[in-house]
Amino acid sequence: MKKILNSILLVVLVAGFFSCNKSSLDPTLAQQKIFDVTSLSDIEGLLNGALDKMTYYTYYGRDYIIFGEVRSDDCFANGKSGRFLTPAAMDMGYSDAYAHDTWLQMYSTIANLNIIIAQDPAKLTGDAAAIKNVIGEAYALRALVHFDLLKLYGQQNVTGGNDVGIPYVTTYRGSDITPARNTVAQVHDSINADLAKALTLMSADLNSSPEYVTTDAVYALQSRVALYFGDWAACKTAAEEVINSGNYSIIDAADYPTTFTNKSSVNIIFELAETSTDNQGINGLSYIYRGTSYGDIQVVDSITKIFDPGDVRASADMLSYNYDAGKLRNVGKYPTVPGYDYDIPLIRYEEVVLNYAEALYRLNPADPNALVWLNKVPANRGANLYTSVTEDNILQERQRELCFEGFRFDDLARTQRDIPLVEPLRQSMGTVLYGDYKYAFPIPIAEINANPNVVQNKGY
């Protein structure tokens, strides 16, 4: 990672020292002077800079979410503007721009966070509790970004992948400029450690807007990580922390579409802010799902079969054939509002509820509360209630509720499922069985060339 961590990322050191306004935190090559971090406002600026990087189109602003959809039975890339063809086909080379650009953006985000984490709170001016809280947020976000890297580039779902994860980088411009890839188990442990550390530093009394990390968001992330790795007791405990907080509720059917148009809805635990002056514009999620020039990500027709009649999630406010000449489009999530002024929900309460229901079922399939909690979501969507809990039912409800938000591929992978080929003439990946090397992205060739300690993923 020599080029990434010691050249390109030098510019992030100044992020946030000029203003705490999120729109002004993207550093430029002209801003390479090294500044001292001396105050709460400095680390708040660096945190805003990290959040801003997460909204960029090569990360959560578009690509990372789309990667989870086009490699599944939710969507396909129609080639309208030539975007996402290689990820959708699961046919990527080591020089693929998608693999390179997202890797770079995520490690760039981590660099900002590591600068914050490296600070001695006692040496910063400002409210002591607020300083610790910001550092805690940085720990939580560092865990999230590494978790996302692992899911995309780690070989935990590849037969013979030999437990190869990703480099877990914990220092900015540290002595180890060519870090090797940690094992999946080591990355998992580091993620858990960072989330636990975050909770020791953060205070629920300082929880604010869902556009920033709260203690509830940290617990929700713990439940997400535990779900992915099958740590069911940990998933249950973390989900209960969010549920018992009483701070959130499942949004009802009438208001469901507003989750993606109104900011800070009652079901939003954490979201990334975009404004009319700071957004991805035509490179964002709304335009790739239904833009007149782009619109490359189209919904498979067969997805309509998973919804019950009357389910708001399949209503014309959410899915429409009329928007684009008979093509089924996601019109409800990440809509094109005036000025692209919409936030990107990353953690919704409904996800935590479904995590909790699954944890209860995995711990004890006979637990009646698993069915109670599984049914809480469809009961608020105008859908039929389930009469039993099975893995298939859990995955179906997660697909219904979370489709187009980037979850589907990970749900298939963590349950060791093949990629469903429901529309062979549209889905371009062909038959991909669980364990195929294609379940992991290639490590970018630029990284391989710059860092002799990073090995390429199997198959590339």
Q: What is the mean pLDDT of residues 310-336?
A: 94
pLDDT tens-digit map of 56-103:
999 999 999 999 999 999 999 999 999 999 999 999 999 999 999 999
Buried b (16+ CB within 10 A) or exposed e, 94-121: bebebbbbbbbbbbbbbbbbbbbbebeb
Q: Quote the tokens at residue 152.
A: 């995309």
The one-letter amino acid at 126: G
Beta bridge partners of 329: 320
The one-letter amino acid at 114: N
- Give pLDDT, residue 336: 75
- Give pLDDT, residue 277: 85
Could you tell me how far CA 116 lies from the centroid of its own chain? Answer: 21
Domain boundaries, the chain: 2-276+342-450, 281-340
First-to-last C-alpha distance (Å) of the chain: 19
Give pTM, 2 decimals. Answer: 0.93
Percent of residues, the chain, with pLDDT higher than 70: 92
Average pLDDT, the chain: 91
Backbone φ, ψ for residue 413 (5° rounding):
-65, -45
Helix axes of 128-153 and 40-54: crossing angle, nearest 10 degrees: 20
- Give pLDDT, residue 342: 80
pLDDT tens-digit map of 247-287:
999 999 999 998 898 888 999 999 999 888 888 989 999 99
Closest to 344 in 3D by CA, of 21, 56, 47: 56
Q: Quote the tokens at residue 387.
A: 């009469």
Q: Does domain 2-276+342-450 have CATH number 1.25.40.390?
A: yes
Residue 18 has pLDDT above 70, yes or no: no
Q: What is the mean pLDDT of residues 399-408?
A: 98
Q: What is the mean pLDDT of residues 391-405?
A: 98
How does residue 35 score in pLDDT terms, banded at 50, 70 and 90? low
Q: Quote the tokens at residue 216.
A: 């509830």
Higher pLDDT: 443 or 274? It is: 443
Phi-psi map region of 386: left, alpha, beta (phi>0 left; psi -120 to 50 alpha): beta
The one-letter amino acid at 175: S
Residue 19 has pLDDT above 60, yes or no: no
